Structure 1
């Protein structure tokens, strides 16, 4: 039961941070207005593969980074919570990464933008990086590690479906609908950020007091 609860929390957390509907709106804003269905499908596939590869890189090398810089798990949890809190405030305010994207358009083909900037850093940014490391450090056995990987892969697949059908979703929801979804995801991310911060501070206080 506890494993299922952890899996559910991880899945919801990843979904809220990735915010596929909000990201799809940003992606459409930096891609060509007359992009074809075939191209958007290719971009969705490449971007999804990019974030999955990035996930496994962080999952495998995250602990090494912590040890290399001498960063404690609890300190990372507090800092990660602050990063997520800032991200949540940005989502709730309604400002997005697309503010500076007008100049991103260049002679590059749309498909070349699938990895950078859509995959990294727009979709897979600091928020996901810290969250993955925090969740990895909470893993106690191989089953929990499997559920963590499964939770992310499911969200990567959902992200793929949303981005692939982003043109239709944009027409159905409209700008207002997309903003509402992003704000709701921001509230969830904010609540999780507070939880990370409080939990990290409690553990740090037990260590130093």
Structure 2
């Protein structure tokens, strides 16, 4: 998750005259949605993979590619989302498109499935869940205060943070791709 970058994207989607109270509601609804989505994926995500006959390593490669594309767009500054329906309420936009797919997209889905697959037991799953929930809380507070952050950082500061996060996401993407390709190659060559 890139809360500062996502906050900038979300502010461009939401009403330009959004109040502090309205953005609090949007931040809460978005965070609630991504936490529910996390638990749905961690509980039923592997089942969905089995139903479609997908290998976790194929998902690693695909998830890595999606993350890589997202990282490249973060680095190049090409993240643009527009809402064509001006009549939508800000709270409706909190779920779609802000929570899903902007915050909780295929890259995050893939990351959760991969981390769950690599978990050794309940303690690892609990650690993943706690780490995700802590990230969601951080996301909530940053998104809730994004109007202030936008004023403080300015456009240049937001661009720098987004590009740095893009580098980190890109490195994670490369790790996923290499790990998945190597494991798939080994399984097909044996």
TM-score where L is the length of structure 1:
0.87
1:67 matched to 2:47? The reply is no
Bigger shift: 116-125 or 152-161? 116-125
TM-superposed deviation, 1:68: 0.8
Bigger shift: 183-192 or 110-119? 110-119
TM-superposed deviation, 1:48: 0.2
- For residues 86-125 of structure 1, the aligned pairs below 5 Å read 86-98=69-81, 101=82, 103-125=83-105
> Which residue matches 1:172?
152
- Which secondary structure state, in structure 2, belongs to the residue aligned with residue 96 of structure 1? coil
* CA distance in structure 2 between the partners assigned to 1:183 and 1:105 by the alignment: 29
CA RMSD across the alignment:
1.1
1:194 matched to 2:174? The reply is yes
> Which residue matches 1:146?
126
Q: How many residue pairs were aligned? A: 189
TM-superposed deviation, 1:97: 3.3
Please give the per-residue CA displacement for 1:38-57, whole angstroms capped at 9, x wherever unaligned: 11111111100000001111
TM-superposed deviation, 1:105: 4.4
Structure 2: 5+ residue stretches without partners: none
- Which secondary structure state, in structure 1, belongs to the residue aligned with residue 54 of structure 2? coil
TM-score where L is the length of structure 2:
0.96
* CA distance in structure 2 between the partners assigned to 1:47 and 1:122 by the alignment: 10
- Which secondary structure state, in structure 2, belongs to the residue aligned with residue 97 of structure 1? coil
- Structure 1 runs (4+) greater than 2 angstroms displaced: none
Structure 1: 5+ residue stretches without partners: 1-17
Please give the per-residue CA displacement for 1:104-145, whole angstroms capped at 9, x wherever unaligned: 341122122111111111111111111111111111100000
* CA distance in structure 2 between the partners assigned to 1:105 and 1:23 by the alignment: 20
> Which residue matches 2:108?
128
* CA distance in structure 1 between the partners assigned to 2:172 and 2:67 by the alignment: 8
* CA distance in structure 1 between the partners assigned to 2:52 and 2:38 by the alignment: 20
* CA distance in structure 2 between the partners assigned to 1:116 and 1:62 by the alignment: 20
* CA distance in structure 2 between the partners assigned to 1:34 and 1:55 by the alignment: 31
